[in-house]
Copies of this chain bind each other. A is one copy, B any other.
Amino acid sequence: MKVVSEKRERIIQAATIIFARQGFYNSTVADVAKEASVADGTIYLYFKNKDDLLISIFERSMDMFIQAAEEEINKEKSAENQLKRFIDLHLRLVHKHQELAQVIQIELRQSSKFIKEYANEKFFSYLNIVEKIIQRGKEQKIFNVDINAGILKRAIFGAIDEIALEWVLMKKKRYSIEEASYELCQMFVKGLK
């Protein structure tokens, strides 16, 4: 086994570009194959079907994000700073991988398949990171012990995600990623107290 099949990687990159540019349902497998410079059939050697391609993009990037997030968080002790690091990382990665971000935020939501039926383990891992930060904040007496982490982890994700989406789709950027990060951090740190 190669470290990770180089061709599989190329296809994922190509699919990310194509799906971001045209949308999942408006992209054909042939489009992806062409972008990846492989034959149509080759895609089916590495992915079960078109849906699997989308899911694979998601899983791979979530794995990377979750790992990066955990490393980043471990650099800090206080929940407050951890939350800041987390938000900052999320927005910086979106900034760095704008096409990938678009695919995950827009295309992945499209179909019931992904949101309703597909048991979204990776997404829960993401949310767990946020929840743990909140819990730690409560233990450290930084955050209000009465707040419901189960609900708010999702609200925090929604807010970050929406800002990221807006920023990626905005043609003429009205604010920087740093500003956005600062505003969000301020609001949540105060809001959770």
**Which A residues form the contact surface with B (CB < 8 A)?**
22-26, 106-107, 109-113, 115-116, 147-148, 150-152, 154-163, 165-166, 169, 174-175, 179-180, 183-184, 186-188, 190-193
Q: Say yes or no: B163 contacts A162, CB within 8 Å.
A: no
A155-B151 contact, Cβ under 8 Å, with A22-B112, A26-B112, A110-B25? no
Q: Does the CB pair A183–B23 fall under 8 Å?
A: no
A151 touches B183 (CB 8 A): yes
**A116: min CB distance to chain B, Å:** 6
Q: A106-B110, A109-B106, A169-B116 are in contact. Are A175 and B151 (CB under 8 A)?
A: yes
Task: Tell me the complex Cα distance, A172–B24, Å.
Answer: 30
| Distance of A13 from chain B, by nearest CB (Å) | 19
B184 and A111 contact, CB distance less than 8 A:
no
A154 — which chain B residues lie within 8 A by C-beta? 162-163, 166
Contact partners of A190 in chain B: CB under 8 A: 190-193
Please state if B148 and A179 are interface contacts (CB–CB under 8 Å). yes
Q: List 12 A-B contacts (CB under 8 A).
A: A148-B183, A151-B179, A154-B162, A155-B160, A158-B159, A158-B161, A158-B162, A158-B163, A161-B162, A162-B162, A187-B192, A190-B190
Closest to A174 in B: B150
Chain B neighbourhood of A26, CB < 8 A: 111-112
CB-nearest residue of chain B to A112:
B23
Q: Please name the 3 residue pairs, one residue from A and one from B, whose CB atoms are nearest each other, closest first.
A: A158-B162, A191-B191, A110-B110
| Extra contacts besides A23-B113, A148-B175, A190-B192 (9): CB < 8 Å | A22-B112, A23-B112, A109-B110, A115-B169, A158-B161, A159-B159, A161-B162, A162-B162, A186-B191
